[in-house]
Amino acid sequence: MSTNLAAWDEVLANEVISQEISRPGALLPVLHALQSTFGFISERAAALVADRLNLSRAEVHGVLSFYHDFRREPPGAHSLKLCRAEACQSMGGDALAAQAQGQLGIGWGETSNDGKVTLEPVFCLGLCACAPSAMLDGRPIGRLDVKRLEALIQEACA
C-alpha cells in the first residue's frame, strides 16, 4: 500500500475520470482509477462520478457498496487481507482472524488507531492448497499460523 496517496483534489479527480470516461461500462474503471489515486472513494468523489457519468448517486452508491474492494474512508498505511473462504476457514482461519482483530484492536474494514493497518476480509486469494492465507500490501502469504500472523502485524505496525 502506498503511503503517498494524493489528497483530495477535484481537478485531479476530474482528470482521472476524463481518462476513463470513454470506456464502455466506465463506472468500474473510473472508480478503480479514483481509488488507485486517492486510496478511497469519498462522498465528494462519488457525487462527482455520478455527475460526470450522468448516473444517480444511488447507482454509484450501489456499486460502491456491492464491491468489497472499494473503500469509503482513507486506508491505513498497510493493508492486511485475511482469506475468509472455506479452505482457509477449515484450516484455522477463523482463529487467525480473531487473533488479528484482537492484536490490532479493530474489526473488519477498520483501520488501527495509529493509522498503520487496515484489516480487510477477502474471499479467496487462490492459495487454497496453502491455507490459511493472507495478503500484506499485495504480497501473498500462505500457510499462515499464529506466529507468522503476529510477525506480519508487527511488521506492518513498525
Q: CA angle, corner 8, sides to 6 and 10, nearest 5?
A: 120
Examine residue 92 and state whether it is found in any structural domain, yes or no. yes
| One domain for residues 95 and 120 | yes
**Above pLDDT 70, what percent of the chain?**
96
Q: Which residue has the higher pLDDT, 9 or 59?
A: 59
Same domain membership, residue 84 and residue 62: no
Whether 122 maps to a domain, the answer reads yes
| 83 has pLDDT over 50 | yes
Note the Cα 33 to chain centre separation in Å.
Answer: 14
pLDDT digits 0-9 by tens, 16-33? 999 999 999 999 999 999
Q: Judging by beta carbons within 10 Å of its beta carbon (0-12, 13-18, 19+), is residue 108 exposed, middle or buried? A: middle
Tell me what pLDDT residue 6 has.
66
**49, pLDDT greater than 80:** yes
My answer on whether 148 and 87 are in the same domain is yes
Q: How far is CA 31 from CA 46, 74, 76, 96, 106, in A?
A: 8, 15, 19, 31, 26
Per-residue pLDDT at 122: 93
pTM to 2 decimals?
Answer: 0.79
pLDDT score recorded for residue 4: 45
Inside any domain, residue 59: yes
Q: Clarify whether residues 95 and 61 are in a common domain.
A: no
The domain of 151 spans 78-157
